[in-house]
Structure 1
Amino acid sequence: MIYKSFFFFLLLRVILLLLAVTVIAYGITDNQNFLIIGGLIITLVLCYDLYRFVSKRFVEIDDFFEAVKYRDFSRWFSEEQGSKDIRKLHRGFNIVNKTFKDINNERQAQFLYLQKILEMVDVGIIAYNLENGEVLWVNDSILNTFNLPSFKNIRFVEKRRPQLYDALFETYHTKDHSMTLEMKDEKLKVLVSNTIFQMDDMAYKLIVLQNIETTLNKNESEAWKKLLSVMTHEIMNSIAPISSLSETLHSEVESKRKHPDSFDLNLEDLDAGILSIKKRSEGLMKFAKTYRTLNKVSQVSRSKILVNDLFKNIENLLIPSLNQKEITLEFKNSNPKLEVHIDVHLIEQVLINLILNSRDACEGMADGKINVSAEKFRDGVQIKVADNGVGIPPEIMETIFVPFYSTKKTGSGIGLSLSKQIMMLHNGRIQVQSIEGQGTVMSLLF
């Protein structure tokens, strides 16, 4: 609407100016001096008026653009004074200024909100200019981690902590990378990642750093507690009867030594006791070997294999024994071209262990079923082993992956622990869902 009013008045002035020029031309043609003089006067007045009309509006626009240039949106243009088009122009300027002020207020609110979030998180964050090292943003977490005051340029860190500077700012970590940073009086285990981004033709580096020392120590402590608890239980179960039986046998031998004529040593009892000690000792040796097995798997040799071929190998191996127990085993895969990049022997071991666990859960049931299925899952593959067995009680759900923990009388307690370790070596996960009395689903996520 502003430009319509402006062009209307501009066109009106141009038409009047053309009429004045026409009068001058007519006066020259008819040699009428008063028309020529009058036309010239009118033309000069109209030219001056046109100049004022245009220049005044361009001055107003120039003032507005000057304010925009310096981001001064606080100015208010009068909407009550001046011509109609000037008032409309001022009204438009005020609307633009208000819009920019609202945008700035929203951005400021968002910035403060983000600032508070970044200050509260327990993750160190710093962004800086790659060219001159000026810090764009740094939160308190990273300052507290390194025991540094607030700084404006990373050169400050270079002067105070050169080793920290080299490890953090001079090295580029494309993926999450755990590293140990040497401080003045301690070493910190941290997880660090970074990325480079462009903003206003300038390159910036964003570093995200998390102190994982406390988390690792806590998890390690909890893992040791669980491991030692199970190992102590297993060892005590073997040592207690060995100690008691050894003491009994020793007592009989001592009695025979002290009273050789009056005390008859029962060789069968002695042999049975020694045999029991032998069996318990063998049990302890087996326990130690299973621990060594759990500790032995440290690397994988990957190759691509079709899921159907993987399933076929396991089916040929397990179907006969499951048929004897009248348990149905089914394999499902709707995509015959689906393949996985795995250590075939290790993953076969995992699947066999899960299927045998399901077999034990379904044993004695009239309609025991085990379904092994595969499907695309996000950017990877998911293999599920599901059964309709007795399920896992909620109270032991958190302990099933603890080494040597087993609810079976003859179980070693390393099957699920070993399976979890193998999946971790594949950068995958193993998840469990179970409802007591209804069944269990174990999922392998690659």
Structure 2
Amino acid sequence: MMNQIRDILSKAKLEVIENEKFLSLIIQNVPTGLIILDDNNNVKHTNRAVTKLLGLPVFTHLNQLRIINQDFPDMFRELKAGDNNKQIKILNEKEEKEVSLSVSSIKIKSGTLRIITLYSIDDALEAKEMESWVKLIRVMTHEIMNSIAPITSLTDTLLYSYKQDSSDPQILKDTTIEALSIINSTAIGLTSFVESYRRFSGVAKPSRTPIRLFTFINSLLMLEDAELRSKNIDVILNCDSEDLMVFADSSQLSQVIVNLLKNAIEALNNTEHRKIEISIVSREDKTQINIANNGDPIPPEVLENIFIPFFTTKENGSGIGLSVSRYIMRLHGGNLKHSFENGWTIFTLSLLNDNSNLAS
């Protein structure tokens, strides 16, 4: 009987060990980051999604969060069960991410454990943002075009009246010409505004073909060579391999890169030793193109709006360059992000290596 009891206990222990391994495997592979803290705020367990989100090779203590943000260790210690959908920004060496936090707790024999979940909401936020902007643009385009029609009609009516009525020629002429001038000026402005909307909302679905990036970017630099030389700007192009290929719409990708190059050139106007560095880096699932300049950084009050359509600080700017560029990258299943490191303003284009994964 004792032997039977021993066998039962041994079997039960093996089942517990197997269940622990199974649960540990699940935890490690879920896309949501998990941090488990004990009563003393010691990190008892984390998974791979956490280290990926935080950009840390290992994460064993809350104080390590100071690398990302000085306030994070204290903030995580003060989190309580029920704190849900708290949003924070995590800036690591690669990019900035919007992360949602939720906290729950469980009591066990040794004390209370807090379970903090971290979930990146960048993709969801950006997709929703772009969808909202496109809908708004379509509606406003329709309304503005309806406004232009009566203006054009009024112009025709005034011109006809001017030709027919000669009872008071000078007054009629002065009044009518002034009215026509105002109407035409308004019509031109509205037409230009509508065209900007159309350019943003009318970006076609990418027609992707293989592109040898090093050669492709070199050809784009040749287009800007005259301006780069006239402004004494040094350009450095680094690539993991000159044979590196991506699948993209060459016309749309050139539009994005040329726009970023022009922005970089403008940012260097007040800089003495002007430099632009372009690096092409291949990773497991994506290829990154980093376009960096050592010019003046983007002011904080401007930075949060740079990807919003029609926001501009330039006197003659349309405000759609960066928003269209990000939209194009999203259509490719990639992204466009800004960062600032060691005096360099960097715009990073990400393209998925899998040519079958396109945004619908």
State the Cα deviation string for residues 116-140 of structure 1 (Å, max 9, x = none). Answer: xx9xx9xxxxxxxxxxxxxxxxxxx
Q: Distance in 1 between the 2:258 and 2:209 partners?
A: 19
Deviation at 1:383, TM superposition (A): 0.5
Equivalent position SS for 1:440: strand
List runs of 5+ in structure 1 lacking aligned partners.
1-59, 74-95, 122-211
CA change 1:394–1:296 in 2 (3 A) is: same
Aligned-residue Cα RMSD (Å) equals: 4.8
Change (3 A) 1:343 1:327: same
Provide the residue aligned with 2:347 in structure 1: 442
Report the identity percentage: 27
Amino acid in the other structure paired with 1:367? H
Q: CA deviation at 1:102?
A: 9.0
Residue matched to 2:216: 310
Structure 2 counterpart of 1:441, which letter? I
Q: Which has the larger radius of gyration?
A: 1
Partner amino acid for 1:363?
N
Q: Which of residues 211, 236, 251 is equivalent to 1:330? A: 236
Question: Kindly tell me: are residues 280 and 331 of structure 1, through their superposed partners in 2, closer, same or farther at Cα, counting changes over 3 Å?
Answer: farther
Residue-by-residue CA offset, 1:294-352 (whole Å, 9 max, x unaligned): 22223111121212211121012111123233333332224222221211111111100
Question: Partner residue of 2:44?
Answer: none
Aligned to 2:16: 104
Flag the 1:284–1:312 CA change in 2: closer, same or farther, 3 A: same
After TM superposition, the score normalised by the length of structure 1 is: 0.44
SS in 2 for 1:341: strand
Question: Is this contact kept in 2: 1:431–1:444, CA < 8 A?
Answer: yes
1:397 aligns with 2:309: no
Determine the C-alpha separation between the residues in 2 that align with 1:413 and 1:390: 19
Which residue matches 1:357?
263
Q: Which residue of 2 aligns with 1:48?
A: none
CA deviation after TM superposition for structure 1 residue 358, in Å: 1.1
Structure 2 unmatched runs, 5+: 33-120, 352-360
Q: How many residues align?
A: 247
2:326 is the counterpart of 1:420: yes
- CA gap of 1:276–1:342, structure 2 versus 1, over 3 A, is same
Structure (1 or 2) with the greater strand fraction: 2
Q: What's the counterpart of residue 286 of structure 1?
A: 192
Counterpart CA distance in 1 for 2:21 and 2:240 is 51
**Correspondent of 2:275 among 339, 360, 369:** 369
SS in 2 for 1:399: coil
Corresponding residue number in structure 2 for 1:12: none
CA distance in 1, matches of 2:289, 2:126: 31
Query: Superposition pairs for residues 219-234 of structure 1, below 5 Å?
Result: 220=128, 224=132
Give the counterpart letter for 2:346 in structure 1.
V
Question: d(CA) in 2 for partners of 1:327 and 1:280?
Answer: 40
Cα distance change on mapping 1:220 and 1:427 into 2, 3 Å: closer
Distance 1:341 1:218 in 2: 22
Describe the superposition over 1:353-388 as per-residue Cα deviations: whole angstroms up to 9, x where unpaired.
Answer: 111111121124333322222121333211111111
Are the structure 2 counterparts of residues 294 and 265 from structure 1 closer, same or farther at C-alpha, using a change threshold of 3 Å? same
TM-score by length of 2: 0.54
* Separation (CA, whole Å) in 2 of partners of 1:384 and 1:362: 17
Match of 1:298 in 2: 204
CA separation in 1, counterparts of 2:193 and 2:271? 31
Q: 1:194-233 counterparts in 2 under 5 A? A: 220=128, 224=132
